[in-house]
Structure 1
Amino acid sequence: MPTHSLTPRALSRRAFLRNSALVTGAAAAGTLLTACGSSSESGGGDGNGSMTYLSILPLETLAMAPELLGVAGGYFAKHGLDVELQPVKGTAQAIQTLISGIGPVCRAGQIDLMTTMSESQRPLIAIGTLYRGSGLRILYSKSDPLTKPEDFVGKTIGVPSEGGTSSKVVSLVLASGGFDPAETPRQVTGLTPGTFNLVQQGRIGGYVASIDTSNIVLSQHEDAGVFDPGTVVKSDSQVYLTTTEVMEKDPDTLKAFMAAIRDSIAAFVADENFDETIAKLREQYSFATLDDDVIARKSLGISRELWTGGDPNQPLLVTHEDAWLAGYQELVDAGVAKPGGDASSWFDNSLLPDAKA
């Protein structure tokens, strides 16, 4: 039977202390690193292959499928790693705790990395691209559709936080059509399928959700429609992020992590109907979108297209400079990122299996 715990193993005292550090913020991180068993020399490892992965996403979503299968399928263990998946409250906290040394790697949006780096040079670097398009969807009612940028003008859009990635993506959708993002108010809402009731009631025009949540809503409501921001936005990719210090002092841990993620993604790519990968995930995890065969297969199919860029033969996780720079230019043109940044220095492919820098 699958476990209903989304933590891969029971919390030890060391893990409890680490979780406490994440909740109270990175200000306490410096004094807690020793108690957590972390080492600034090893970038969050404890010398025996253990590491903390900082997740900006809740674990109860198939958007986390590569990392979840990395644990459940033994891919991390194959590469000598014992990985604890640790959710944090959004990208800002993930970056803060990453820099503090609590964990050596996290996932973040290209948008967030570029806006951060353009505002103040931070010791951050992207070491692999997971999603080659938007992992977000915007749900709306067919009675008042959101199918093109002009449809968003004057509508209130639900987002999980003020000024976060989702809100920036909405701004980029508007900017792509030449519209002022300020013309579209944002309201902080939940990300659950139940939030669609606010759309039906006319209280919001739509809201940003994950791929698997959008698939649940579409299956439950005939009046629901979905907009893919990636049809007009270039920069909404997702990358694995580390610090330059960890990259210099502990590249082997990062190489092992990226190799395990590559193997995990490759398993999804090779599993045509996801029979084996879904079964393996269910051995250890249980949540709504994973437990529903139709939703799980549909969501993983969409994600697979985004992981491979539609070409299963291309090397996984490689960041392509032309797409990377085009994304930065889009952010600059939209006023989301500051100009003049050396975006080419913000990524490095050298830690990937069979990839060149």
Structure 2
Amino acid sequence: MGRTAGEKIMNDINRRTVLKGMAAGGAGLMLGTMPVFAQSSNKLVFMEPYDMALEYLHEMNAIVGGHFEKEGLTVEIASIRNTSAAIQQVVTGQAFVSRVGLLDVFKASEAQTEPVFSVGTSLQHGIFSVVSREGDPIRTPEDFKGKLVGLASIGGGQENMLNLLLAGAGVPFEAVQRQAIGSNAGNVEILKAKRVDAFLATVETSLILKRNKEPVEIWPASKYAPLPGGVLLMTKKFATENPETAVKFVRAMRNSALEANTEDAGKILDRITAKFDLAANDDRDFRIAAIKAYNEMTFVNGTDNVMRNVPEVMKLSAELASKAKIVEVKDVDSLYTNEYFDKAIKA
């Protein structure tokens, strides 16, 4: 059986890392409809597109763990509950960065006149998994053919991911039925009742299903469509005019991620919850499990690539997005940079 797209990328990354080690020895909302957030020269606003959750572990820990402060940066996290609106806040200069999916960067580059790009990848893998019945599993994108798949909504992020999986496998979109069922752990009852053959789930939903020992099989969509789940979007204008800030920011985010992976997860959780009101399940064990899950997604391409835009991933992501007819990416190299990452790790 051939390797998946994700496995091929990991093989390329691992090969390059070994060689490197041998050589080196080591169209959103109108502005008037949105709240305006105050950003000044000495206070930077990090705009999240949704309510605070452990998905935003790195930036929260960068604040409470002192990583931004160590770099001389004063960063405030705000949220606006809408990806397009969050991007618009960055484009209009009300915020200096937002954490969004790579597809959002692709789409924004087409919709915005102000050029944007990714200065780093926070989550190397996406947040969606495929859930199917243990006795009747869907294990590959090809298995979706002729099936009914439950999605949070029609036309949203989960349907985009489904289309990416199908496009990568050459499965016609019309060969797969879709049904909007919302996004929560209760979807497993719809699955068990055979009202759908599979559904897409978030990290948190997948954790709940595993903890409840539900009779399901779960695999990450990134196994076949390895798009990053979180990248750091900036305008090229801001990064070009403030290169030192961009370098310090990426370095602080990387150091925060490294610490979150090596420090006791309970300690990380306690200092985050002391400052931030999380929207996630408030069970402590669940939250610790979520931190570990996001750490795995951060380090899946190796420690050297933590907070780095991996070129192979970017290229494949652009190809899949174009093939799935989500957005035609004409020049993916212009939509990300490792300039600030490279300078950050040299310092």
Normalising by structure 2, we get a TM-score of 0.79
Aligned to 2:147: 155
Q: 1:69: how far off? A: 1.6
**For the residues of structure 1 that align with 2:88 and 2:148, how far apart are their CA atoms?**
30
**Conservation of the 8 A alpha-carbon contact between 1:98 and 1:104:** yes
**Conservation of the 8 A alpha-carbon contact between 2:128 and 2:203:** yes
Which of 309, 319, 337 does residue 327 from structure 2 map onto? 337
Structure 1 unaligned blocks of 5 or more: 1-23, 38-44
**Conservation of the 8 A alpha-carbon contact between 1:134 and 1:229:** yes
**Conservation of the 8 A alpha-carbon contact between 1:161 and 1:188:** yes
Q: 1:285: how far off? A: 4.3
**Conservation of the 8 A alpha-carbon contact between 2:102 and 2:228:** yes
Aligned to 2:117: 125
Aligned to 1:279: 270
Q: 1:237: how far off? A: 4.3
Q: 1:268: how far off? A: 1.4
Q: 1:178: how far off? A: 1.6
Structure holding more helix per residue: 2
Which of 27, 51, 71 does residue 31 from structure 2 map onto? 27
Which of 294, 299, 303 does residue 294 from structure 2 map onto? 303
Aligned to 1:228: 220
Structure 1 residues 58 and 181, CA gap change in structure 2 (3 angstroms)? farther
Aligned to 1:141: 133
Q: 1:168: how far off? A: 1.1
**For the residues of structure 2 that align with 1:112 and 1:308, how far apart are their CA atoms?**
22
**Conservation of the 8 A alpha-carbon contact between 2:251 and 2:344:** no
**Conservation of the 8 A alpha-carbon contact between 2:51 and 2:278:** no
When structure 1 is superposed on structure 2, of 256-265 and 185-194 the one drifting more is 185-194
**For the residues of structure 1 that align with 2:260 and 2:56, how far apart are their CA atoms?**
13
**Conservation of the 8 A alpha-carbon contact between 2:121 and 2:228:** no
**Conservation of the 8 A alpha-carbon contact between 2:45 and 2:94:** yes
Aligned to 1:207: 199
For 1:226-255, what per-residue CA distance to the aligned partner results, in whole angstroms no more than 9, with x for missing partners? 221111113344311011222233334433
Q: Percent identity?
A: 21
> Residue 335 of structure 1 aligns to a residue in which SS?
coil
**Conservation of the 8 A alpha-carbon contact between 2:120 and 2:231:** yes
For 1:145-201, what per-residue CA distance to the aligned partner results, in whole angstroms no more than 9, with x for missing partners? 222113323433333344333211111112222211233233344323233333333
For 1:59-110, what per-residue CA distance to the aligned partner results, in whole angstroms no more than 9, with x for missing partners? 1x32121122223323333334443332333433322332222211111222
**Conservation of the 8 A alpha-carbon contact between 2:322 and 2:328:** yes
Q: 1:219: how far off? A: 1.2
Structure 1 residues 342 and 177, CA gap change in structure 2 (3 angstroms)? closer
Q: 1:344: how far off? A: 0.9
Which of 70, 92, 112 does residue 62 from structure 2 map onto? 70
Aligned to 1:109: 101
**Conservation of the 8 A alpha-carbon contact between 1:262 and 1:316:** yes
**Conservation of the 8 A alpha-carbon contact between 1:109 and 1:165:** no
The answer as to 2:41 corresponding to 1:47 is yes
> Residue 145 of structure 1 aligns to a residue in which SS?
coil
Aligned to 1:321: 311
Structure 1 residues 193 and 78, CA gap change in structure 2 (3 angstroms)? farther
> Residue 227 of structure 2 aligns to a residue in which SS?
coil
Q: 1:131: how far off? A: 1.7
Structure 2 letter corresponding to 1:28? G
Q: 1:290: how far off? A: 6.7
Q: 1:347: how far off? A: 0.9
Structure 1 residues 276 and 117, CA gap change in structure 2 (3 angstroms)? same
> Residue 179 of structure 2 aligns to a residue in which SS?
strand
**Conservation of the 8 A alpha-carbon contact between 1:62 and 1:290:** no
**Conservation of the 8 A alpha-carbon contact between 1:318 and 1:355:** no
Aligned to 2:159: 167
Aligned to 1:88: 80
Equivalent residue pairs, number? 318
Structure 2 letter corresponding to 1:145? P
Q: 1:47: how far off? A: 2.4
**Conservation of the 8 A alpha-carbon contact between 1:29 and 1:102:** no
Structure 2 letter corresponding to 1:343? V
> Residue 339 of structure 2 aligns to a residue in which SS?
coil
Normalising by structure 1, we get a TM-score of 0.77
**For the residues of structure 1 that align with 2:259 and 2:196, how far apart are their CA atoms?**
39
Q: 1:310: how far off? A: 4.6
Structure 2 unaligned blocks of 5 or more: 1-27
Aligned to 1:40: none
